[in-house]
């Protein structure tokens, strides 16, 4: 991806994602068949990054904040239109891509991970995975292009 350059500080890892992005259906997973738009913006004097995501045709929305947790670790807090919420922390996803930015959260069904990494050409890739005994099980893969 052209311009996949991380910035300084705790939120610097998310710098390549700032902006508005759209994914079109793709990938073999059923969840990958929906259009999704994501907008990342710095808020509150740069103390947090806000994500607004809308899934077309599903009536599903998410608002998340990324920032430093009380121990200084990069973390997220997510709230969705179905009334659910989650929170997690920065995690390693070098098994996906050497420059992947990933977060893990303990969910009712177990450990989940979502990751962003430079896509081929323009944009970035995004995946959501669940932890199994054999490793990570991917159930969503999207490629995002700038709006």
Q: With 60 as the cut, is the pLDDT of residue 37 above it?
A: yes
How many whole angstroms separate alpha carbon 40 and alpha carbon 71? Answer: 23
Taking CA atoms, 10 is separated from 7, 17, 25, 48, 142, in Å, by: 9, 14, 32, 10, 25
pLDDT (average), residues 32-45? 86
Asked whether residue 30 carries a pLDDT value surpassing 60, the answer given is no
Is a pLDDT exceeding 50 seen at residue 76?
yes
Q: Which has the closest alpha carbon to 118: 139, 96, 88? A: 96
pLDDT in tens, 2-22: 557 888 888 999 999 999 999
Nearest to 80 by CA among 111, 51, 37, 123: 51
Higher-pLDDT residue of 74, 31: 74
* Residue corresponding to tokens 């610097």: 12
Give the residue with greater pLDDT, 28 vs 78: 78
Residue 73 confidence (pLDDT) = 92
pLDDT of 43 > 80? The answer is: yes
Q: Please state, as a whole number, how many other Cβ atoms lie within 10 Å of the Cβ of residue 122.
A: 13
List, for residues 82-136, the tens digit of each pLDDT value: 999 999 999 999 999 999 999 999 988 899 999 999 988 789 999 999 999 999 9
Its pTM stands at 0.89
Q: Which of 60, 57, 68, 53 is nearest to 116 (CA)?
A: 53
Q: Compute the average pLDDT of residues 69-90.
A: 94
Question: What value does the mean pLDDT of the chain take?
Answer: 89
Assess contact for 44 and 51: CB atoms under 8 A: no
């Amino acid at each position: 991806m052209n311009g996949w350059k991380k910035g300084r500080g705790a939120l610097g890892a998310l710098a390549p994602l700032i902006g508005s992005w759209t994914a079109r259906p793709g990938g073999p997973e059923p969840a990958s068949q929906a259009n999704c738009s994501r907008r990342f913006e710095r808020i509150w004097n740069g103390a947090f990054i806000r994500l607004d995501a809308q899934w077309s045709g599903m009536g599903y929305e998410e608002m998340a904040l990324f920032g430093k947790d009380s121990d200084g670790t990069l973390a997220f807090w997510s709230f969705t239109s179905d009334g659910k919420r989650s929170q997690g922390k920065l995690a390693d996803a070098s098994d996906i891509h050497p420059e992947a930015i990933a977060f893990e959260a303990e969910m009712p069904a177990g450990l989940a991970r979502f990751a962003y990494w430079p896509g081929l050409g323009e944009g970035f890739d995004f995946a959501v995975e669940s932890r199994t005994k054999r490793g990570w099980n991917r159930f969503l893969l999207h490629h995002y292009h700038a709006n």
